[in-house]
């Protein structure tokens, strides 16, 4: 798990991907919310579900590449 956070003199690709993805996902969610008149509750559920799936994929890729 240590190379998830830090690896060979730079941030671990796992934590880096997680941080970048979380920021972009949040901004994308905001854009979608403004373009579509969607209820905030439904949007939050969709955002959280999408986030969990993508984080699962990132972790899966990280574990698979070890």
Partner 1 sequence: MTILGLQIVILCLVAAAVVLWALYFPYPSPLIRRWLPPRKRWPEAQIRTWLKQGGFQRAFLRHFYSDPERIAPPGNSMLAPADGLVTSAEKHEGVRYLVIALSFWDMHVQRSPVSGKVLSVESCGDGFMDGEGREFAFLREKPCPVQKRLLIATDAGRVAVRLITSLAARRIETWVRAGDEIERGQRIGRILLGSTVVLELPVTMNLLVRTGDRVWAGETAVAEGAPPHE
Binding site for partner 1 (CB under 8 A): 9-11, 16, 19-20, 23-24, 26-27, 30-31, 34-35
Min. distance of Cβ 37 from partner 1 in angstroms?
A: 9
Min. distance of Cβ 42 from partner 1 in angstroms?
A: 18
Can you give the C-alpha Rg of the chain in angstroms?
15
In the three-class reduction of DSSP (H, G, I as helix; E, B as strand; rest coil), residue 36 is classed as: coil
The answer to whether 5 touches 15, Cβ cutoff 8 Å, is yes
Min. distance of Cβ 33 from partner 1 in angstroms?
A: 10
The structure tokens 């939050």 sit at: 44
């Amino acid at each position: 798990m240590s190379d998830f956070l830090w690896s060979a003199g730079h941030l671990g690709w796992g934590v880096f991907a997680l941080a970048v993805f979380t920021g972009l996902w949040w901004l994308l969610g905001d854009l979608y919310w403004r373009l579509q008149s969607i209820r905030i509750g439904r949007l939050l559920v969709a955002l959280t579900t999408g986030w969990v799936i993508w984080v699962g994929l990132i972790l899966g890729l990280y574990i698979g590449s070890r």
